[in-house]
């Protein structure tokens, strides 16, 4: 299975990086951009075809390493590996 994990700063956490990018987009004339938040995408190959097993592994990885629950939240999608 393939997993695509998205880790974001929690909504209440200030994202100065996103703000700087938003300012830069405004300088480029994209004044309609009302907000930018920056996160991370982590792609993993998981050596199983069992969705439940893959899910358990991904959740475990997100909680123990990929995200820090004090400041971040995560979401993920699982998909079949394309041959």
Partner 1 sequence: MKFAVIIFPGSNCDHDMYHALHKVLGEEVKFVWHGETSLDGYEVIVLPGGFSYGDYLRAGSIARFSPVMNEVIRHAEAGKPVLGICNGFQILTECGLLPGALLRNKNLRFVCKDVYISTENVNTIFTNQLNKGQILKIPIAHGEGNYFIDRADLQELEENGQIVFRYATAGGDLADSANPNGSVSNIAGIVNRQGNVLGMMPHPERAVELLLGSEDGRFIFNSLRN
Token digits of residue 81: 């590996």
- Quick check: 14 binds partner 1 (CB under 8 A)? yes
Query: Which residues have C-beta within 8 Å of that of residue 39, sequence separation ≥ 6?
Result: 6, 7, 8, 9
- Quick check: 41 binds partner 1 (CB under 8 A)? no
- Quick check: 20 binds partner 1 (CB under 8 A)? yes
Of residues 58-77, those binding partner 1 (CB under 8 A): 65-66, 68, 70-71
* Cβ at position 34, least distance to partner 1 in Å: 20
Give bridge partners of residue 6 from the DSSP assignment.
41, 75
Summarize as ranges the residues that interact with partner 1 (CB under 8 A).
Answer: 13-14, 16-17, 20, 65-66, 68, 70-71
């Amino acid at each position: 299975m393939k997993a695509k994990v998205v880790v974001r700063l929690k909504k209440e956490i200030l994202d100065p990086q996103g703000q700087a990018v938003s300012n830069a987009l405004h300088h480029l004339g994209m004044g309609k951009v009302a907000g930018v938040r920056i996160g991370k995408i982590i792609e993993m190959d998981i050596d199983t075809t069992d969705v439940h097993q893959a899910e358990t592994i991904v959740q475990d990885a997100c909680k123990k390493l990929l995200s820090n629950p004090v400041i971040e939240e995560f979401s993920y999608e699982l998909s079949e590996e394309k041959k």
